[in-house]
Amino acid sequence: MPLPEVVYAQASPTSMGGTSLFATGARIRAANVPSFFASAGVVRAAERALKRAGFKVLNVAPTTINIAGPPDLYESVFQTELFTEEREVVKLLGTPDTATFVETRDTDMPGLIDTSNSPVANVVEGVAIERPVYYMAPNAYPPPKAYWHLRVPGDVSMGLGADAVHRRMGLTGKGVNVVMVDSGWFAHPYFVGRGYRASVGLGPGAMNINLDGSGHGTGESANLYALAPDIEFTMMKMSFFNSTAAFNAAVALQPDIISVSWGTDVEKPPLGAADRALAASVAAAVESGIIVVAASGNGQFSFPGQHPDVISAGGVYMEEDGALQASSYASGFPSKIFSRRNTPDVSGLVGMAPNGTYIALPVEPSSEMDTVFGGGAHPAKDETKTDDGWAMFSGTSAAAPQLAGICALMKEANPNLTPKDARDILKRTARDVKKGKNAMGHRAKAGRDVATGAGLADAQKAVQAAARRR
Amino acid sequence: MPPPRRRPRREADRPAAALAILPQGQSDDEVREFFEQAGFAVGPTVGISFSIEAPEPLMKETFPDFDGRPRELSLRKVPRKVRRRLDSVVVERPPDFGPFGPP
């Protein structure tokens, strides 16, 4: 097997206790772990040195610094040689198999790079190569179901008018950086098979870079790829107790677009402290030129979905014959926090109440989405197994990355596009929806309304309009 | 809303983290320096906030009421001159929709 394009590793800043994290014979437990912490000064120095050497620093913690870079960078900085090795492992569902590990012959410890001959030797005591995980248990194809639903990428792309952009205009999101702040990203065979590129960063407090125990982020990212398959995608995995910090970490990457498929339920003022901080972060991001797309909620008065600077994503249901109506699962409302702010601005494809079971999305097997939606009859459940790595869900959580994907296409067509341009164009070019009621009982009618905003986004018209603004 | 929960796959425990919020228009230098020198990993300042992350003993030493649950943390152990430049430190509540929070 060839080496991967990017190798992830944990660099250990020199431990305060004098014994390296990798050299100790002791078991590391809560009682003795402080002696393996590095001082704040050493951590900062190590982070600077690693960045200077060319590594991307994904996360900094007192015991390890998560880094990423191409294999040849490791080889030149650490005077080492990397190679791959197939080893026997037990994969999901107890299946014996082999997996590919990135290895070095530097030390007797598997996966440990010796840093003593490198420019970071005085502040980094060792570098542990992450073990790549190749779960092959889930099928790359979704299970067939008799009820009407959408499949990624084709149905979602076609429903939003992106196929024509891909084929006739040759735009697929190339060179556009999109960050999704969500529950994590699992390298599902669906993504691997389609050759989508992804990197994962850990937001403050988040762990387990290869896992997505929720399944939400993994699934929703498939909506983004359906619209813009060649984007430079980063999942910023968040701690559920530190969502603003994860958003801040996403902003620090200075991407073109940030997609947010979550929020808090805030009907009336005042905003709490954390929401005020998030409001300031959103405003700062947009002011710096980042397009922020946020879900308007699934029956909630969502924040940041009602922030005036975001593109607020609502929901439209497309029937089997292509007819459109407002999604009875999606939020849309006049904000009581921000005057003259109606959400959503524009809508993506979203299922109907009770649970929005609509789009077949890949998830980590046995994750929360797999378990919650599987194992029962449609429409309350999705009739898939609870451990098959597929779940049918949507909500405005799906609409946000769909719109973010269209923004990526627009940005490729016109790199000078501002956040305001993107929102104006999406609203001006959307397909009006005149039927149905949203989750809050607001009726769709001719023209703009709070049921669906300007209606269903139209990628082709939006991208053409963006290109004309160059 | 999603259907009622069943027993999902869980991930391992997270490190201790919180969000430091500054008063509007306040410089972050002194506050960041305090946390950095105390041994916290400090995230980028965006808008009026930045993350702080530390092993749990250090987090509890600085914020005795920290227990990992959503709340505004008491600043009584933070030096007065830093406290004056800090609006609040919070452990956020999980989002109400989107990725599910802990059980």
Domain segments of chain B as ranges: 16-91
CB-CB neighbors (< 8 A) of B10 in chain A: 213
For A432-463, what is each residue's pLDDT tens digit? 999 999 999 999 999 999 999 999 999 999 99
| CB contact residues (below 8 A), chain B span 34-63, against chain A | 36-41, 43-55, 57
Please indicate whether residue A278 or residue B4 has the higher confidence score (pLDDT). A278
Domain ranges of chain A: 7-129, 150-468
Interaxial angle between packed helices A216-227 and A396-413, expressed in degrees from 0 to 180 and rounded to the nearest 10:
40
For A361-401, what is each residue's pLDDT tens digit? 999 999 999 999 999 999 999 999 999 999 999 999 999 99
CB pair distance less than 8 Å for B39 and A214: no
CA distance A403 to A156: 11
Look at residue A4 and tell me whether its pLDDT is greater than 90.
no
CA-nearest of A434, A462, A439, A459 to A449 is A434
B25 touches chain A (CB under 8 A): no
CA distance A53 to A272: 41
Q: A7-13 and A124-129 as β-strands: parallel, antiparallel, unpaired?
A: antiparallel
Q: What's residue B7's pLDDT?
A: 43
Rg (CA), chain A: 23
Q: Chain B residue with minimal CA distance to A381?
A: B3
For A41-57, what is each residue's pLDDT tens digit? 899 999 999 999 999 88
Task: Pick from A207, A241, A243 the residue to mutate for testing the B interface (most B CBs within 10 Å).
Answer: A241
Peptide bond connecting B79 to the previous residue in cis, omega within 30 degrees of 0: no
Q: What percent of chain A has pLDDT over 90?
A: 76
How far is the alpha carbon of A107 from chain B, nearest alpha carbon, in Å?
A: 29
| Structure tokens given for B24 | 């509007």
CA-nearest of A247, A165, A158, A268 to A203 is A247
B79 touches chain A (CB under 8 A): no
Mean pLDDT score, A67-92: 85
How far is the alpha carbon of B23 from chain A, nearest alpha carbon, in Å?
A: 10
Q: What is the mean pLDDT of chain A?
A: 91
Q: What's residue A89's pLDDT?
A: 61
Residue by residue, pLDDT tens for chain B (103 residues) are: 343 344 444 454 457 999 999 998 888 899 999 999 999 999 999 999 999 999 999 999 999 999 989 999 999 999 999 999 999 999 998 888 877 654 3
Q: What is the DSSP string of A143-171?
A: PP-SS--EETTHHHHHHTT-HHHHHHS--
CA-nearest of A427, A442, A422 to A325 is A442
Q: In which residue are the tokens 């501002």 written?
A: A418
CA distance A423 to A332: 16
| ipTM reported for the complex, 2 dp | 0.83
Q: Chain A residue with minimal CA distance to B11?
A: A213
Which residue from A217, A245, A283 is facing B17, i.e. has the nearest CB? A245
Amino acid at B80: R
Task: Quickly count: other Cβ atoms within 10 Å of residue A270's Cβ.
Answer: 9
pLDDT grade, residue A66 (50/70/90)? confident
Please indicate whether residue A121 or residue A109 has the higher confidence score (pLDDT). A121
Q: What percent of chain A has pLDDT over 70?
A: 95
**Domain A150-468, classified CATH 2.160.10.10, yes or no:** no
Q: Is B60 helix (H, G, I), strand (E, B) or coil?
A: helix
Q: Are A360 and A142 in contact (CB under 8 A)?
A: yes
Q: What's residue A402's pLDDT?
A: 98
Q: What's residue B99's pLDDT?
A: 73
Q: Are A241 and B70 in contact (CB under 8 A)?
A: yes
Q: Are A262 and A295 in contact (CB under 8 A)?
A: yes
Q: What's residue B5's pLDDT?
A: 40
